[in-house]
Amino acid sequence: MSKSQVVFRVLDGNRIQCQVVPPEGQRLTLSGSSTDEVPEFENGGLGDNRALVTNAWAFALARYEAVTMPDPEQQKNAVKRAEGHQKVAEWIADLAHDLASDEKRGWCSACFGEHSHRKANLPMGHVPAYLCSDCGAPTLPCAAGPVCKNMAVRGQGTIGVQRYCAEHRHEIPGFAKADRKMGELNNYEEFLKYDKRNLARDIRVAGFAGAGIAAATPFAYLAAPAIGGAVGALVGGYTGAAATSYGLALLGGGALAVGGLGMAGGTLVITALGASLGCALGASVMNAYVREDKSFHIEMLQGGPGVPVVVCNGFLSENGKGWGEWHDIITTRYPDSPVYRVHWGAKELKDLGVLGGGGTARLVAVAALKEASAKAAKMAAKKLGPLAPALFAADLAKNPWHVAKNRAEKTGVILADLLARTNTESYILVGHSLGARAMAVAAQTLGTKPDGPRIQAVHLLGAAIGAKSDWHTLTRRVDDAVYNYHSTNDGVLKIAFNLAQGGQAAAGLKGFTPSTSGLKNIDVSTSVKSHFDYHKNVSLM
């Protein structure tokens, strides 16, 4: 059987070209600058398959990097990415060039829309393959059989493996409700309930061989043409081809240890970019995060007619249920508001050392020091005691600080998606420490959704987030202001945060910089003498 080929060549300077050559029929030619996130190509034929176009262009960008990157290790990684995307693109081209007239209609487990799926002509004995008419992802009927009309994502290969749709894999609570409103915030538990049984619980489903794509990865992440470059620019600070390849690598599960965020980090960025907030893809992202964090839940503390207030604790905060340390500071400022408390990251916070209550904590060492960090760690140990080894763990995948920080950001995304699904017009967000980080991410994420709820105000106490950035994204949908209560006496932020973040200053220590309209730094140093003093000694503006 003839196979499709995907080939690359440099045209002129940084102009590159990628051709998809099927065994017969019209070829697809993609061209553009090595800095272009989306190539030039003619629609029609193979050009109508978004998944094919995205993977073929990602292959071209990675191949260009492989010969232009100055570092051998970067070149090696680029070659691996190129090989993975090339295999996926050639496989999709093989399917797309020879389609039968048979069609099935059902929900697609790649793009989460209800579309028609056209069958590909394959030799006898091969597992059936269809292509989604919307995203171009390879699919096949759900293994649940007659009881399910949905389409599962089909893996590459010929071996018959049971594949279930996203509903029966519990990758999504339910296709039909995934992009619907859920009423009030306290209805979130009903929204997150699964409509179908998890038939794939004990079935190990393989991913795309050699493509660097996680087994449970919705194919839609590679079907969005410009998302790779946007992710690379936002997360990695790269531009052009480097941004695209870096972003696609993250979406494919880039290892934490080599600077990636893994699939979860990639989906966080997608949601933060507004590509899926409150929609079906956002439901999948949120569902994945909630499944990771079994402790996540939202507790309603009081009702009322005012603008709802959502509070979120961080590390070194009082644990448990109920108001905790929030009662006085919230009810004094917002006596008539409904109040919700977000609980999150029990495991991550415990690993970080939050074992006590009542504003006290016992810090434990959970990671060994690397030899390269020995000198710095020795100095830090004098100030931080047993917390220093945890902060200096070289492997980010095992470093409890970075794991907890990433969990806080995911919590912010979960919250933003849930708020976007309510009928409430405005919210007030309040957070302390890493909880403030979660609330900042929630505000930034909501800022990407023009038709989402507004934010009346954001109050950040001892925010464990870097001080320097472009903070227009934080204030974009805030009507009053983002109030950042900071104290130069906050020893945790002054020492622990600074060391964990490689010398970066915390916004909760000296304030956000640069200052923007709608962002107010409130110096509370005279009344706040430690990381534990904010709730009792700060009055919300």
Q: Which two tokens stand for residue 28?
A: 């697809």
CA 59 to chain centre: 23
pLDDT digits (tens, 9 = 90+) for 372-401: 233 333 443 344 444 434 333 344 445 677
* 333 CB burial (10 A radius; 0-12, 13-18, 19+): middle
- CA torsion angle 121 123 128 131 (round to 10): -30
Q: Decide: 139 and 108 in contact? Cβ < 8 Å.
A: yes
Per-residue confidence at 105, pLDDT binned at 50, 70, 90? very high
Residue 107: exposed, middle, or buried by beta-carbon count in 10 A (0-12, 13-18, 19+)? buried
6 forms beta bridges with 20
Q: Is the pLDDT of residue 301 over 90?
A: yes
Residue in 425, 471, 429 with CA at minimum distance from that of residue 451: 425
Among 23-27, 193-197, 268-272, 489-493, the least confident range: 268-272
Q: Which two tokens stand for residue 139?
A: 């699919």
In whole angstroms, what is the distance from residue 392 CA to residue 377 CA? 7
Per the model's pLDDT, the better-predicted residue between 164 and 215 turns out to be 164
Going by C-alpha positions, the residue among 208, 534, 486, 503 that lies closest to residue 359 is: 534
Q: How far apart are CA 361 and CA 314, in angstroms?
A: 12
Is the distance from CB of 408 to CB of 441 less than 8 angstroms?
yes
How much is the average pLDDT of 121-128?
Answer: 85
Query: Which pLDDT band, with edges at 50, 70 and 90, does 356 fall under?
Result: very low
Domains parsed from the chain with CATH numbers:
1-94 (no CATH), 99-183 (no CATH), 293-537 (3.40.50)
Give the tokens for residue 149.
């009309």
- Burial grade of 443 (CB within 10 A; 0-12, 13-18, 19 or more): buried
Is 116 exposed, middle or buried (CB count within 10 Å of its CB: 0-12, 13-18, 19+)?
middle
Task: Tell me how far apart the alpha carbons of residues 346 and 404 are, in angstroms, rounded to a whole number.
Answer: 9
CA gyration radius, the chain: 25
With CA atoms as reference, report the closest residue to 444 among 469, 488, 474, 419. Answer: 474
Q: Which long-range contacts (CB under 8 A, 24 or more apart) does 32-35 make?
A: 32/57, 33/240, 34/61, 34/64, 34/68, 34/240, 34/241, 35/239, 35/240, 35/241
Q: Residue 489 CB: number of other CB atoms within 10 A?
A: 17
What is the structure's pLDDT at 214? 30
Which tens digit of pLDDT belongs to each residue from 418-443? 999 999 999 999 999 999 999 998 99
Pair type for strands 5-12 and 426-432: unpaired
Question: Can you give the pLDDT at residue 160?
Answer: 58
Which of 451, 57, 46 has its CA nearest to residue 226? 57
d(CA 56, CA 124): 28
Give the SS3 label for residue 179: coil
Lowest mean pLDDT segment, chosen from 85-89, 327-331, 427-431, 446-450: 446-450
pLDDT in tens, 54-63: 888 888 988 9
**Which bin fits 112, alpha (ψ -120 to 50), beta or left (φ > 0)?**
left
At CA 85, angle to CA 80 and CA 88, rounded to 5? Answer: 130
Structure tokens that stand for 484 in this block = 């950042």
Rounded to the nearest 10 degrees, how much is the dihedral formed by the CA atoms of 237, 242, 243, 244? -170
* Region 46-60 average pLDDT: 87
In this predicted structure, what is the pLDDT of residue 215?
Answer: 31
Contacts 24+ apart (CB under 8 A), 41-46: 46/20, 46/22, 46/93, 46/96, 46/97
Predicted TM-score (pTM) above 0.85: no
pLDDT in tens, 314-347: 865 555 789 989 999 999 999 999 999 999 988 7
Spacing of C-alpha 379 from chain mean position: 35
Strand pairing class (309-312; 426-432): parallel
Q: Which residue has the higher pLDDT, 35 or 526?
A: 526
Residue for token pair 């020995």: 374
